[in-house]
């Protein structure tokens, strides 16, 4: 698995190990729900979201 593919995996039980599977199985989640599930602050989830959007925006502009 490449480093990029590895970033799509999170520390969940085996059947929920992929974020894509987790979203499909549990549906959309609020930032608060994500924070609670990952055990991090809401502020940190928001920071990660902003970084992800920034990275995606750069890729789209290329």
Question: Can you spell out the DSSP letters for 16-42?
Answer: G-BHHHHHHHH----HHHHHHHHTS-H
* Cα(62)–Cα(47) distance, integer angstroms: 23
Per-residue pLDDT of the chain (62 residues; tens, 9 = 90+): 454 555 555 555 555 456 677 777 778 889 998 888 888 999 999 999 999 889 888 888 85
* Cα(6)–Cα(18) distance, integer angstroms: 9
* Cα(17)–Cα(10) distance, integer angstroms: 6
Whole-number pLDDT of residue 29 = 87
Verdict on whether the full-model pTM lies above 0.85: no
Whole-number pLDDT of residue 52 = 87
Q: Which neighbouring-strand residues pair with 9? A: 18
Q: Tokens in use for 36? A: 């609670």
């Amino acid at each position: 698995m490449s480093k990029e593919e590895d970033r799509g995996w999170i520390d969940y039980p085996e059947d929920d190990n992929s974020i894509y599977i987790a979203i499909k199985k549990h549906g959309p989640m609020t930032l608060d729900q994500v924070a609670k599930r990952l055990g991090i602050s809401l502020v940190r989830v928001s920071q990660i979201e902003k970084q992800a959007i920034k990275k995606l925006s750069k890729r789209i502009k290329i």
